[in-house]
Amino acid sequence: MSASPTRVSQNRSFGGDQQVFRHDSTVLGCAMNVGIYLPPAAASGPCPVVYWLSGLTCNEQNFITKAAAQEHAARLGLILVAPDTSPRGEGVPDDDAYDLGCGAGFYLNATREPWARHYRMYDYVVDELPALVEAHFPADKERRSILGHSMGGHGALVIALRNPGRYRAVSAFAPITAPSQVPWGQKAFRAYLGEDQAAWAEYDATALLPSAKERLPILVDQGDKDQFLERELKPERFQRACEEAGHPLTLRMQPGYDHSYYTIATFIGDHLTHHATALRATPRL
C-alpha cells in the first residue's frame, strides 16, 4: 500500500474542503498529486466516492478549478477524487508530443519499454488509489462510481466495463470511445502496448461492450461543436455497439458545445446527480 498522503493545499468550498494531497505511489514508482473534495456530510460519517479521470495534458488541478463540481458535490454529499493523468517526475519517461508520456497515461498498464515501469494508470485507478482513499478519508467502501473527460472518459468507460460490481455508476464527457480506431488511441496503444490488437481491445470501450458482464446505464454528453468529434471521439460507433449489445446508453449531443471545461461545468450537475442516484440505490444482484 502507498505511504500516507501529505496535504499540499486546502480551501473551504461550499461548506466542505477542496484539498490536494501528495503520496508516493508504489504502482507508478513516483509521487502523485490527488485532488479530494470532502463535502460537509463527510464530517458526520462516510460518504460515497466519485472518481474523476481527466483528459490529455491535464493534471489534478483542471477538474478542481474549472469544473464547478464542488457545489453539486456538497449538495449531494459526494466525495470527489481527481488524480493526475499520468506518472511524473525525475526518472519517469516522457515524450515531446502532448499526446504521449506525461499528461497522457491513457489509463492502461504499459507493457513496452521505456513505459512499462511507471505507466500503470489502470492499476493505480482501480486498486491503489481507492485503497489509499478508503484508508485515509471518510469514504464509503461499498459506494463508488467513476466518470471522466476525453482520454479520461475513455478510462472511465473501460474501467467500469472491466470491473463489474466495483462501481455503481459511470458517465463521460466527450470520451474517446473507440481508441483502437482513432489517431490518439492508435499512437498511445502502439507506444505503450505494441502491435498486439488483442491487447488494444482490453482498453477499448467499444470492443469491450459485447462481452460486458454488467449493464450499468451509461450517460455521455458530447458537444456537436467539439473540434475532436469526427477525428478522435466517434460516439456513433460506441452508440451502435451499445445498441447491438443491449447496453443502456444515454448519449446527449449538446448543440453548440465544444471540448472544453465550459461544457463540463455546464453539465457536471447532471452527471453528479446521475451518480448520486445510483450510489443511493440498493445494489443490483
| Active-site residue (options: 25, 86, 150, 171) | 150
| Active-site residue (options: 72, 149, 154, 259) | 259
- The number of C-alpha atoms within 13 Å of 197 and in the hemisphere containing its C-beta is 4
Distance CA 133, CA 5 (A): 9
Let me know: does 245 contact 209? Beta carbons within 8 Å: yes
Is 150 labeled as catalytic in the residue annotation? yes
| Active-site residue (options: 145, 204, 226, 271) | 226
Is 259 labeled as catalytic in the residue annotation? yes
Let me know: does 118 contact 28? Beta carbons within 8 Å: yes
Is 270 labeled as catalytic in the residue annotation? no
Q: Which long-range contacts (CB under 8 A, 24 or more apart) does 213-217 make?
A: 213/164, 214/161, 214/164, 214/165, 215/246, 215/247, 215/248, 216/160, 216/167, 216/168, 216/169, 216/170, 216/248, 216/278, 217/169, 217/248, 217/249, 217/250, 217/278
List active site positions: 150, 226, 259
